[in-house]
Amino acid sequence: MAGAAAADLAAVEARLRALLEPYAGRLEPTTIYGLPALRRPGARAHDWFAFVQPATRHVALFLLPVRTWPDLLEGCSTDLRARRTGAATFTFRALPDTLAAEVAALLARAFERYAGS
């Protein structure tokens, strides 16, 4: 059972990282807490875009623009909003296609705002 759960979380992590991949060429790689992250070129320490953090029971997506511009969540489903566990954090135990599409749309809106600021 633990192996299945770990495999499921590894799949969630891979999917979240894949959703961030389109921004990798337009942002600068950095690390936050030793984890790979993305930020605008030349950004300072706490001016990052996003990163993924695996944990024992979930995978977290940290998306700083949501903290800066909470209106980015307007129109998001209650399912996605329920996964928001911090000012800029969303946690996932699973990432079905519909939710992944919604996360992708949120990332696109967040990137547009972040890149334009």
CATH number for the domain running over 2-116 = 3.90.1150
Domain boundaries, the chain: 2-116
**Per residue in 1-40, is it b (16+ CB within 10 Å) or e — as a string?**
eeeeeeeebeebbebbbebbeebeeebeebebeeeebbbe
pTM assigned to the model: 0.93
Tens-binned pLDDT, residue by residue, of the chain (117 aa): 466 588 999 999 999 999 999 999 999 999 988 999 999 998 887 889 999 999 999 999 999 999 999 999 999 999 999 999 999 999 999 999 999 999 999 999 999 999 987
